[in-house]
């Protein structure tokens, strides 16, 4: 080597790596180039040393073959295996064009290459599907919409009253769905359901091909796949969703029984007319429960699974024709697969025409008020969270009596119409609240207002106006139960119905220490209606005539705390009471119509009280739901209740001497100070009914307005007697 670089004829000896040829050397002759500059510089690259006039390059060594590298990497142990595989690998290696062929055949892979490619693709596909299957997990939570149902409310006689919820769906256990219904659905949608793996490979391929080629995924779904789509996936149409659906269907089929899948499918499928599930479909199209369907009706409902918009006969003549054709095909298909005999098929020649429209028992007007009360009670008594209740599926059997509810509603409507004729302007602010409660606590009827959709709050449950003189029986009962005390430290004195009190108007209210003074320093006196004086009068007679003055003083002598406790024990709520002042005895408390009816029911029940309730039974999809029912308790002694009931019977007879009523009818009117409300509360047999009329202009305030003759004592009584069928 010279100072300028490599000599032109110099030969370089390079050591060959051991994996090529052990202990051998390879001569490499460098190409000669003209030197343009005697002082070249080394470039640091494989091109050699460069000068201003040219360069000399090294020729690269040929790359070792794949076989040589495999031999070197595996050592002696892999050499025999590599030697055996090498010929086949050379055969699979595409050589284009083929030298031993002519024309277009030179470009065609050999059968070995085709086989290798197919095996490779199959292996990769199987591996991919295996990984996808293992990675697919069944979601723990179903789509809330897929499981949401409506809640159905029933009258006390078991007939439907109303339903609520965004989704018309009622789930039914498979055991309660007739076998013919299941067979019709299987014939229509998936005859191989009980033997297939949850997916149809041919159908899936067809659906995927349509997705890619035409942009839809119609067809190709088994019942399992449809169920997966209903409860786990959204309804978008894409190849990705179809693949996920298939994976979930395979996994679900392996982890869930076929019966459970079929049950879920029948309860989540869309049948049109706003309904989900076979039970609500049976009600919407035939007005009956699914258990009452015959095979012909079932075949029609099964046809709706293909698309209710295309097969509901009520929508168009074309739909009717399609429905008849598919109904017939499904029955024939059932014969073909052996789930319906030919003789049975021969019986069904006429199409089972469904109802023109679904029977409606939606909420509205009065039923809304009933539903509101029942829903509140159901959630509380059955300990159902609001979220769970809203998901639906509950059958709520109420205590409401359909006939009595109709009678009460008609009686109020009659009174309102008469008031409108008398004074239309005042009638706009006139309100009625009413309720009937049985002695065992069942709420039989309520009148909550003219229409829940225009007046949301429930008049029967409102604590809006004072009870007035309708409260006197509770004061009387407290005195009979506890006795009275004339001195602060003295012993109590027994009170009987014959005990005399001063019934004159304007007498002062007395305490053991003397007259009672209000906070303004004014002596408190009490007055009777019309300023009438009665002199010394027995308590039973005073109650029958609704004389105020004896009961104002009786409340003070008994103790206002005892009066309050007795009223609460009989059924009134503590929240309806204000301060313990003498006015409490004349009805300053503001109980609802339901609570007033419940309180009087306690006297009719010989002093035993049961908290009013509106729901007798709850089921969810046919299974009983635990419901806490109120227990009865002793409110007052039976003798006390009998005395109060006797005085109320006299009150009814005295006020309405010409009415031909059963002996057990009892009740009294209630007037309120400043004429802001009028009550009538009474019992007929085992039913207690309370009616209140008052005026409030809700656009201005919640303060009651004077009735001014628009609804005097006779109006609440007229509603009460009409509801009770007494005239």
Structure confidence by residue, pLDDT tens digits, 595-624: 999 999 999 999 999 999 999 999 998 789
pLDDT band at 634 (very low <50, low <70, confident <90, very high): very high
121-139 pLDDT tens trace: 777 666 655 655 554 455 5
Cα–chain center distance at 276 = 13
- Alpha-carbon distances, residue 328 vs 31, 295, 319, 334, 720 (angstroms): 92, 12, 14, 10, 58
155-192 pLDDT tens trace: 999 999 998 876 777 888 999 999 999 999 999 999 98
Distance CA 408, CA 555 (A): 34
Q: Who has greater pLDDT, 455 or 669?
A: 669
Same fold, 167-347 and 399-467+590-726: no
Mean local confidence (pLDDT), 88-105: 65
pLDDT band at 571 (very low <50, low <70, confident <90, very high): very high
Q: Which CATH class is domain 399-467+590-726?
A: alpha beta
pLDDT band at 32 (very low <50, low <70, confident <90, very high): very low
688, 600 Cβ separation under 8 angstroms = yes
Distance CA 15, CA 4 (A): 25
Residue 377: pLDDT over 80: yes
Q: Who has greater pLDDT, 701 or 253?
A: 701
Interacting residues of 455 by C-beta distance below 8 A, sequence separation 6+: 448, 449
398, 157 Cβ separation under 8 angstroms = no
DSSP 8-class letter at 675: G
What mean pLDDT, rounded, does the chain reach? 82
Residue 145: pLDDT over 70: no
310-324 pLDDT tens trace: 999 998 999 999 999
The tokens describing 499, both together, are 């005990």
pLDDT band at 391 (very low <50, low <70, confident <90, very high): confident
Phi, psi of 378 (to 5 degrees): -60, -45
pLDDT value at residue 51? 43
pLDDT band at 659 (very low <50, low <70, confident <90, very high): confident
pLDDT band at 48 (very low <50, low <70, confident <90, very high): very low
Count Cβ neighbours within 10 Å for each residue of 89-115 and write b for 16 or more, e otherwise: eeeeeeeeeeeeeeeeeeeeeeeeeee
Mean local confidence (pLDDT), 315-338: 95
Q: What phi-psi label fits residue 392: left (phi over 0), alpha (psi between -120 and 50 degrees) or beta?
A: left
What's the CATH code, domain 167-347?
1.10.3810.10
Q: Who has greater pLDDT, 479 or 64?
A: 479
Radius of gyration of the chain (CA): 46
Local structure of 547: helix, strand or coil: coil
How much helix, strand and coil, in percent to the nearest 5, is found in the chain? 45, 15, 40
Range in 10-14, 243-247, 250-254, 280-284 the model is least confident about: 10-14
Distance CA 716, CA 703 (A): 20
pLDDT value at residue 165? 75
522-558 pLDDT tens trace: 899 999 988 999 999 999 999 999 999 999 999 999 9
Q: Packing angle between helix 295-303 and helix 317-337, nearest 10 degrees?
A: 120
pLDDT band at 42 (very low <50, low <70, confident <90, very high): very low
Q: Who has greater pLDDT, 349 or 82?
A: 349
Smallest CA-to-CA distance from 716 within 470, 399, 437, 400 is with: 470
Segment (H or E) for 617: strand 615-620
Phi, psi of 468 (to 5 degrees): 60, -145
The number of C-alpha atoms within 13 Å of 380 and in the hemisphere containing its C-beta is 11
Q: Where are the domains of the chain?
A: 91-135, 167-347, 399-467+590-726, 470-588
What percent of the chain lies above the pLDDT cut of 70? 75
Distance CA 683, CA 703 (A): 30
Residue 640 has a CB neighbour count (10 Å cut-off) of 22
pLDDT band at 53 (very low <50, low <70, confident <90, very high): very low
Residue 406 has a CB neighbour count (10 Å cut-off) of 13
Residue 361: pLDDT over 90: no
pLDDT value at residue 163? 85
The number of C-alpha atoms within 13 Å of 359 and in the hemisphere containing its C-beta is 15
Count Cβ neighbours within 10 Å for each residue of 560-588 and write b for 16 or more, e otherwise: bebbbbbbbbbbbbeebbeeeebbbbbbb
Range in 252-256, 337-341, 426-430 the model is least confident about: 252-256
From 3.40.50.10490, 3.30.360.10, 3.40.710.10, 3.10.150.10, which CATH number describes the 470-588 domain?
Answer: 3.40.710.10
The tokens describing 234, both together, are 């959204």
196-208 pLDDT tens trace: 876 765 555 555 5
The tokens describing 108, both together, are 């065609």
pLDDT value at residue 35? 41
State pTM to two decimals: 0.69
């Amino acid at each position: 080597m010279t100072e300028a670089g490599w000599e032109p004829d110099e030969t370089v000896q390079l050591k060959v790596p051991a994996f090529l040829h052990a202990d051998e050397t390879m001569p490499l002759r460098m190409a000669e180039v003209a030197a343009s500059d005697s002082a070249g510089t080394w470039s640091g690259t494989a091109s050699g040393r460069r000068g201003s006039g040219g360069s000399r390059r090294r020729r690269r060594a040929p790359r070792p073959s794949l076989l040589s590298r495999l031999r070197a990497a595996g050592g002696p142990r892999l050499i025999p295996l590599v030697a055996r595989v090498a010929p086949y690998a050379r055969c699979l290696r595409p050589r284009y064009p083929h030298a031993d062929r002519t024309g277009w055949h030179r470009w065609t892979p050999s059968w070995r290459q085709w086989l290798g490619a197919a095996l490779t693709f199959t292996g990769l596909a199987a591996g991919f599907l295996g990984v996808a299957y293992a990675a697919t997990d069944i979601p723990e939570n179903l789509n809330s919409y897929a499981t949401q149902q409506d809640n159905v409310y029933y009258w006390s006689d078991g007939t439907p009253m109303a339903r609520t919820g965004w989704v018309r769906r009622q789930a039914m256990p498979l055991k309660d769905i007739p076998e013919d219904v299941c067979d019709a659905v299987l014939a229509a949608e998936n005859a191989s359901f009980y033997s297939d793996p949850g997916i149809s490979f041919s159908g899936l391929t067809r659906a995927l091909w349509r997705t890619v080629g035409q942009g839809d995924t119609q067809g190709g779904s088994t019942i399992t796949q449809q169920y997966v789509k209903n409860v786990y996936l959204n309804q978008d149409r894409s190849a990705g969703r179809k693949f996920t659906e298939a994976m979930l269907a395979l996994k679900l089929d392996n982890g869930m029984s076929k019966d459970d899948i079929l049950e879920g499918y029948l309860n989540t499928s869309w049948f049109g007319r706003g309904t989900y599930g076979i039970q609500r479909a049976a009600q919407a199209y035939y007005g009956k429960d699914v258990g009452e369907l015959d095979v012909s009706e079932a075949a029609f409902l099964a046809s709706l699974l293909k698309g209710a918009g295309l097969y509901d006969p009520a929508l168009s003549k074309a739909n009717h024709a399609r429905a008849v054709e598919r109904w017939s095909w499904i029955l024939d298909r059932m014969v073909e697969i052996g789930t319906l005999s030919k003789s049975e098929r021969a019986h069904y020649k006429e199409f089972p025409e469904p109802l023109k429209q679904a029977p409606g028992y939606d909420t509205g007007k009065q039923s809304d008020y009933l539903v509101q009360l029942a829903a509140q009670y159901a959630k509380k008594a059955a300990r159902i969270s609001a979220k769970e209740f809203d998901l639906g599926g509950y059958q709520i059997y109420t205590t409401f009596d359909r006939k009595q509810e109709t009678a009460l509603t008609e009686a109020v409507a009659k009174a309102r119409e008469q008031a409108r004729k008398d004074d239309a302007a005042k009638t706009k602010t006139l309100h009625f609240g009413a309720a009937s409660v049985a002695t065992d606590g069942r709420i039989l009827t309520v009148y909550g207002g003219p229409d829940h959709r225009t007046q949301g709050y429930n008049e029967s449950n409102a604590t809006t106006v004072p009870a007035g003189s309708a409260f006197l029986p509770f004061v009387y009962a407290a005195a009979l139960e506890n006795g009275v005390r004339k001195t602060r430290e003295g012993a109590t004195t027994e009170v009987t119905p014959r005990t005399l009190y001063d019934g004159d108007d304007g007498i002062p209210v007395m305490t053991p220490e003397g007259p009672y003074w209000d906070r303004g320093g004014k002596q408190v006196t009490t007055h009777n209606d019309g300023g009438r004086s009665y002199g010394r009068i027995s308590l039973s007679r005073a109650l029958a005539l609704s004389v105020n003055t004896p009961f104002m003083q009786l409340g003070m002598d008994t103790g206002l705390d005892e009066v309050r406790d007795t009223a609460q024990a009989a059924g009134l709520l503590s929240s309806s009471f204000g301060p313990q002042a003498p006015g409490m005895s004349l009805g300053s408390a503001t109980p609802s119509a339901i609570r007033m009816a419940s309180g009087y029911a306690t006297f009719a029940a010989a002093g035993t009280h049961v908290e009013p309730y509106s729901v007798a039974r709850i089921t969810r999809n046919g299974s009983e739901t635990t419901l806490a029912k109120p227990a009865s308790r002793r409110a007052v002694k039976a003798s006390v209740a009998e005395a109060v009931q006797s005085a109320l019977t006299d009150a009814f007879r005295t006020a309405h001497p010409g009415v031909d009523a059963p002996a057990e009818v009892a009740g009294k009117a209630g007037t309120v100070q400043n004429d802001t409300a009028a009550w009538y509360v009474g019992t007929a047999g085992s039913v207690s009914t309370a009616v209140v009329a008052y005026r409030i202009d809700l656009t201005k305030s919640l303060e009651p307005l004077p009735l001014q003759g628009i609804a005097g004592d006779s109006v609440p009584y007229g509603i009460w007697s009409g509801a009770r069928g007494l005239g």
